[in-house]
Structure 1
Amino acid sequence: MNAPRMLFVYNPHAGKATIRGHLLDIIDIFTKAGYEVTAYPTQSQGDGEKRVRDRADDYSIVVCSGGDGTLDEVVSGMMNSEFKVPIGYVPAGSTNDYAKSLKIPSVMTKAAQIVVNGNDFLSDVGTMNDKYFVYCAAFGIFTDVSYSTDQSLKNALGHAAYILQSVKELQDIKTYHMKITYGNGTVLEDEFIYGMVTNSIQVGGIQNITGKNVKLDDGEFEVTLVRKPKSLIDLPNLVGALLDSKILSSNDLINIKLRNITFESDIPVAWTRDGEYGGEHTKVVINNLPRAVTIKVP
């Protein structure tokens, strides 16, 4: 009887290039579990998506190791392929937001054990116009942080790099005039400094920023919108409410649960998709695809 085949896609540069010291141990865990492993190091952005999309049909599982951006590529490749199989995830990025939401361990060998011994979890997946995303699509003040933070700084400082970049950008807050349509035609039009559509317990390494009672398989996103504060004096309370709504509240902070939402702007607005640059758009249509992909979890 032939051993089941595993495609193992990994980003050798993610995070602090952590995988380089664990690669052989991870592959050994997979091999001892009975898999014939094909290991593929990604060569450029988008390479992981293409490799998964164009894979042969005899792989029984696809595993990825890297940051949330690598997971995004692998999930996108799976969604664009003709046949679906479970996905395993060995996190190796700077913040690993989605892995922490799924309670996947940050110790890479433990995460590898989850891949071969864990349970199947059917997770929602989002679409942002014609692209897929796993856990977050966002615009605004903190959105620039992930892709404007230098990769070497990310590798050296990890989560601290995001915080440093955020503090630097608070000095010059941009606003975005958005017309937002959701539900049965509800329209919200205002000046915003930030907006995110999430399917995650944490974003940017900050836990519980996405709302209460978050479930990753309920067919709904958590949407957080931050209006432009009337003065800089209101900003600390607004940031405090964003970080912990139990302690502080703000009229400029809007939280909604929904399945689809449309953002329209007069000028192109930069977005991120799972922490990576998602292009500039004047219209973004976001939809939830319930329980669309299978991921191995504890």
Structure 2
Amino acid sequence: MKFCLIYNKNSAGGRKSKFIKKIYDEIKINHEIDLFETTSIIEASEIIKNINKNNYKRLILAGGDGSVSFAINELIKNDIKFEDDFAIGYIPAGTANILQAELGMTKNIKKIAKTLTSNNLSKTNLVKINDRYFVLMAGIGWDAQIVQSIDTKIKKILGKVIFGLKGFEKFLLMKNDKIKVSINNEEILADWILCSNSRYYAGHHKITDTNIFEEKFTTYIFKDLKRMKLLYYIYLIIRYGNLEKSKSVITKNISELKMDGLNKQIPIQIDGDNFGSSNKIIITSSDKKINLLKAA
């Protein structure tokens, strides 16, 4: 079996190089594997385009959650066809690493290598947002403001700390534009929408009972986001692992929702990365699936 390992050196400021190399060496003992260290999406995109041409059966991505999201979208965009046993593997080398929790991965080198060389794979549910797909979550509004305000150079140095600092800044200077949310025949004015395909959010904090392998996603609609309410929401996540006890948060398990910025551009983040802004957003279930390797 032939492996392609792409290491996004921009993740975690490139501090995981030795860790990645040890996993590479472990896999290399019994398998053919090529290691590519990339510093731009252009480099990574070219490698992914040639996955089939080079007969790779495993695409291993070392980086953050966004690295996996990017690769999956590149595979779909280029309409790459692969065999049923093709799978994506993940090495947690980013900031939040929510996917690490979803896949049951540890940071033990031998255990990671064992998972990546196994056949323990499952098809992940992919959710479509406009012309892209996400694996974990999409945030429209408040949390996307935080993601978009972070300088990538500073993120490399400070890691998770910068999310805390910027989150506190946006908490103090909270300013939300209303978003019109349309679900079936219902319309709701909201300050923030969070669509979660993952059990976890903001690190390894449980937020819902779904997971990336189930064919559904949970949508939280925050009608009136204020500082004190946000603190209450954080308490609910830490204490109960969901937001169901809040009367000001609408929870929906639906297959489609539409959002309108009411003539304003709405900031968006998908899988923890900046997805720009748009005044029209459609999120829907999709029939796209891809195999992910997970810990036994």
TM-score range relative to shorter protein: 0.7 to 0.9
Deviation (angstroms), 1:131: 1.2
1:237-273 Cα shifts (integer Å, max 9, x gaps): 3443355457983322122122222212221111011
Assess, with a 3 A threshold, how the Cα gap between structure 1 residues 223 and 243 changes in structure 2: closer, same or farther: farther
1:175 maps to a residue whose letter is N
2:181 maps to a residue whose letter is I
Partner of 1:120 in structure 2? Answer: 121
What TM-score, normalized by structure 1, do the two folds share? Answer: 0.87
1:237 maps to a residue whose letter is Y
1:63 maps to a residue whose letter is I
Equivalent position SS for 1:8: strand
Aligned mates of 1:281, 1:78 — CA distance in 2: 24
1:172-204 Cα shifts (integer Å, max 9, x gaps): 21223222223xx13232131x21111112122
Partner of 2:64 in structure 1? Answer: 67
2:273 maps to a residue whose letter is E
Partner of 2:36 in structure 1? Answer: 40
| Bigger strand fraction | 1
Deviation (angstroms), 1:140: 1.9
Equivalent position SS for 2:57: strand
Deviation (angstroms), 1:139: 1.7
Assess, with a 3 A threshold, how the Cα gap between structure 1 residues 149 and 32 changes in structure 2: closer, same or farther: same
Equivalent position SS for 1:132: strand
How many residues are treated as equivalent by the alignment?
288
Partner of 1:111 in structure 2? Answer: 112
1:82 aligns with one of 80, 87, 98: 80
1:87-109 Cα shifts (integer Å, max 9, x gaps): 11111001101221221223455
2:72 maps to a residue whose letter is V
Partner of 1:261 in structure 2? Answer: 257
1:236 maps to a residue whose letter is L
Assess, with a 3 A threshold, how the Cα gap between structure 1 residues 169 and 20 changes in structure 2: closer, same or farther: same
Aligned mates of 2:166, 2:107 — CA distance in 1: 24
Aligned mates of 1:190, 1:257 — CA distance in 2: 18
Aligned mates of 2:15, 2:227 — CA distance in 1: 40
2:174 maps to a residue whose letter is I
2:197 aligns with one of 182, 196, 199: 199
Aligned mates of 1:232, 1:43 — CA distance in 2: 38
Assess, with a 3 A threshold, how the Cα gap between structure 1 residues 99 and 49 changes in structure 2: closer, same or farther: farther
1:66-119 Cα shifts (integer Å, max 9, x gaps): 001111111112223321321111110011012212212234553232100250
Q: Which moved more, 1:240-249 or 1:157-166?
A: 240-249
Deviation (angstroms), 1:51: 2.4
Partner of 1:188 in structure 2? Answer: 187
Aligned mates of 1:108, 1:281 — CA distance in 2: 41
Percent of residue pairs identical = 18
1:156-171 matches, cutoff 5 A: 156-171=157-172
2:236 aligned with 1:237, yes or no?
no
CA contact (8 A) 1:33 1:116 kept: no
2:292 aligns with one of 273, 278, 295: 295
Root-mean-square deviation (CA, aligned residues, Å) is 2.4
Q: Which moved more, 1:9-18 or 1:92-101?
A: 9-18
Runs of at least 5 residues in structure 2 that lack an aligned partner in the other structure: none
Aligned mates of 2:112, 2:4 — CA distance in 1: 16
CA contact (8 A) 1:137 1:274 kept: yes
CA contact (8 A) 2:205 2:237 kept: no
Aligned mates of 1:247, 1:283 — CA distance in 2: 28
CA contact (8 A) 1:49 1:75 kept: no
Aligned mates of 2:179, 2:239 — CA distance in 1: 25
Assess, with a 3 A threshold, how the Cα gap between structure 1 residues 189 and 52 changes in structure 2: closer, same or farther: same
Assess, with a 3 A threshold, how the Cα gap between structure 1 residues 54 and 202 changes in structure 2: closer, same or farther: same
2:278 aligned with 1:281, yes or no?
yes
CA contact (8 A) 1:242 1:253 kept: no
Assess, with a 3 A threshold, how the Cα gap between structure 1 residues 12 and 199 changes in structure 2: closer, same or farther: same
Assess, with a 3 A threshold, how the Cα gap between structure 1 residues 50 and 244 changes in structure 2: closer, same or farther: farther
Aligned mates of 2:46, 2:181 — CA distance in 1: 33
Runs of at least 5 residues in structure 1 that lack an aligned partner in the other structure: none
